Structure 1
Amino acid sequence: MVELKSPAEIEAMRTTGRFVAEVLQELSTRAGVGVNLLDLEHHARAMLEERGAQSCYWDYAPSFGRGPFRNVTCLSVNDAVLHGLPHDYVLADGDVVKMDLAVEIGGWVADAARTVIVGTPAPEDVHMRDVAEEALRAAIAAAQPDGHLGDISAAIQGVIQGHGYPVNNEFGGHGLGRTMHEDPHVANSGRPGRGPRLRPGLTLALEPWFSRTSEHLVYDPDGWTLRSADGSRTVHVEHTIAVTEDGPRILTLP
């Protein structure tokens, strides 16, 4: 069931979203050559504890995972793109890190992700990140009141495929509010004018992601980390937004 939020509830989600953005910015600044992923995870834990925020990932146990997730961040490197399990890995020059964070403050959730290139960026990786961010901007612009969910999905698909990259629909965006995952599912491909209407008060996490050359994913032995099936590099970006009578509002900006 889709739950529409009041302006006051959206403002509460904005408070959470601002904190999510602050944590991701701090982790992005710290993600340098020679830094261990576990150092980033533990720094995020300290920031959440200081703020009194609750991780939406800790003890998360969906059907596709292996046991409860016992971290507060998803950190996915290079060909890994989603649900990356923080582990003992030292970042190297040129690594592409996808940072995903969802937290709850005062009963309201926000979720965001960004792609960070460590050290010297390869031009092809920069281009992929730019395309992902372009797709996210297009998705947000399409989230207009009285539009359709398919408008958002089609906007993402159009940008990604327009640049020659493949699209995977196995995982995508989602509703959120009191919990991390609510209806509706937001696929990264679709047709304009199709699907449920976008009503003021609808809050969504929009998250374009893709790999360079494969639309298929494989799991790591850890049961969580998802990688491109052919080992090609990946990107992932995400914002929490609200549909309002005045248009889309991004809730996960600093």
Structure 2
Amino acid sequence: MSHGPLDDDAVESYREAGAVLVETMNEAREMVEPGVTHLEVAEWAEDHVREEGAGLAFPVNISVDEEASHATPGRDDNTEFGDDDMVCLDVGVHVDGYIADAAVTVDLSGTDDLVEASEMALEAALEEAGPGVPVGEIGAAIEDVIRGYGYTPVLNLSGHGVQKYDAHTGPNVPNRGVDRSVELEPGQAVAIEPFATDGRGKVGEGTTEEIYEQVSDRSVRDRRARKALEQIEAFDDLPFAARWLEGTGTEMALKRLKQKNVVKGYPVLKEEAGQLVSQAEHTLLVTEDGIEVTTAGIHSFD
């Protein structure tokens, strides 16, 4: 599919979403300290995005240690950050549907080089990226840096395109070298997100599920499910957190909606127990003569 140049309004919305995300992330990362709860950070960040007049492209992800993605606190979650946690914060913001997606790793465990591996892999990927560049070459740059640090890229997670009101589209940007792959095209918005691990480099689904997305508008008879669906339809088909739903019985309502294939859930993706995962991510616009990073200003070393 040919993209062509983005119109000025779209570019401005992508930039505004990036600016809100940068400000939110730089504040939120400072909150990650032992004794603070995951829920406090997630709710602060989500509230801040809304206060800035933007929307959430997905719930704030707070992944700890072996968790890599899709982890967000539940409604009554009182889990606190520990003094040896590795914490990945992944935040998505949209303005009029145009999305910025970025992630940082806050290390409380003293494993600085694992964090640096994903950060430097992201820098290498951004240097490689541009119109006409095969995504497999970007993946090779990511893999070379991470393996150079003695770690393994998470091979079954990848970067991705973002389009209006769609947080995960093509092209996929692998975290390893691929010989044959599509090329980046002007007009694309792409989130590049290296994951580095001291584990085997493959994530699997855990049992926890707090993030959902509407996938059909099929009618349901259950009263509570209908009430939940009324709220869900306000999320513009973007992923949402179970804790965003108000009223009693929302857990059972979501279960009914899943059974009817009205919503799908996103289980937490995890490495093997005892391993660590770091993540770094930026969103960029591919232009005719290069790239523009809409989320620049986040990934600085302390």
SS of residue paired to 2:68: strand
Contact 2:119 2:280 in 1 (8 A): yes
| Of 224-233 and 136-145, the range deviating more from structure 2 | 224-233
Q: Tell me how far apart the structure 1 counterparts of residues 292 and 15 of structure 2 sit (CA, whole Å).
A: 9
- Residue 186 (structure 2) pairs with residue 186 (structure 1): no
Contact 1:74 1:83 in 2 (8 A): yes
- Residue 58 (structure 2) pairs with residue 89 (structure 1): no
Deviations 1:33-55 (A, max 9, x none): 21000101110121122122222
SS of residue paired to 2:153: coil
**Residue 114 of structure 1, CA deviation:** 0.5
- Residue 112 (structure 2) pairs with residue 126 (structure 1): yes
Residue of structure 2 in register with 1:17 after alignment? 18
**Residue 149 of structure 1, CA deviation:** 1.7
Contact 2:50 2:56 in 1 (8 A): no
Residue of structure 2 in register with 1:212 after alignment? 198
- Cα RMSD for the two superposed structures: 1.8
- Residue 158 (structure 2) pairs with residue 168 (structure 1): no
**Residue 2 of structure 1, CA deviation:** 6.0
| Of 239-248 and 216-225, the range deviating more from structure 2 | 216-225
Q: Tell me how far apart the structure 1 counterparts of residues 4 and 62 of structure 2 sit (CA, whole Å).
A: 31
**Residue 4 of structure 1, CA deviation:** 4.4
Deviations 1:140-159 (A, max 9, x none): 11112222222211111111
**Residue 230 of structure 1, CA deviation:** 4.2
Residue of structure 1 in register with 2:47 after alignment? 46
- Residue 277 (structure 2) pairs with residue 234 (structure 1): yes
Number of equivalences = 235
Identity of aligned residues (%): 31
With the length of structure 1 as denominator, give the TM-score of the two structures.
0.86
**Residue 217 of structure 1, CA deviation:** 2.0
Deviations 1:76-107 (A, max 9, x none): 11121211122421112131110001121122
Residue of structure 1 in register with 2:103 after alignment? 113
Structure number with greater Rg is: 2
Contact 2:5 2:287 in 1 (8 A): no
**Residue 220 of structure 1, CA deviation:** 2.6
| Gapped regions of structure 1 (runs ≥ 5) | 58-71
SS of residue paired to 2:167: coil
**Residue 127 of structure 1, CA deviation:** 0.1
Residue of structure 1 in register with 2:268 after alignment? 225
Q: Greater share of strand residues, 1 or 2?
A: 2
Contact 1:74 1:84 in 2 (8 A): yes
Residue of structure 2 in register with 1:61 after alignment? none
Q: Tell me how far apart the structure 2 counterparts of residues 147 and 230 of structure 1 sit (CA, whole Å).
A: 36
Q: Tell me how far apart the structure 2 counterparts of residues 236 and 112 of structure 1 sit (CA, whole Å).
A: 10
Residue of structure 2 in register with 1:147 after alignment? 133
Residue of structure 2 in register with 1:200 after alignment? 186
Contact 1:2 1:184 in 2 (8 A): no
Residue of structure 2 in register with 1:177 after alignment? 163
Q: Tell me how far apart the structure 2 counterparts of residues 49 and 144 of structure 1 sit (CA, whole Å).
A: 32
Counterpart residue type for residue 235 of structure 1: S
Question: Residue 235 and residue 2 in structure 1: after superposition, are their counterparts in 2 closer, same or farther (change >3 A)?
Answer: farther
Contact 2:155 2:202 in 1 (8 A): no
| Gapped regions of structure 2 (runs ≥ 5) | 210-266, 298-302
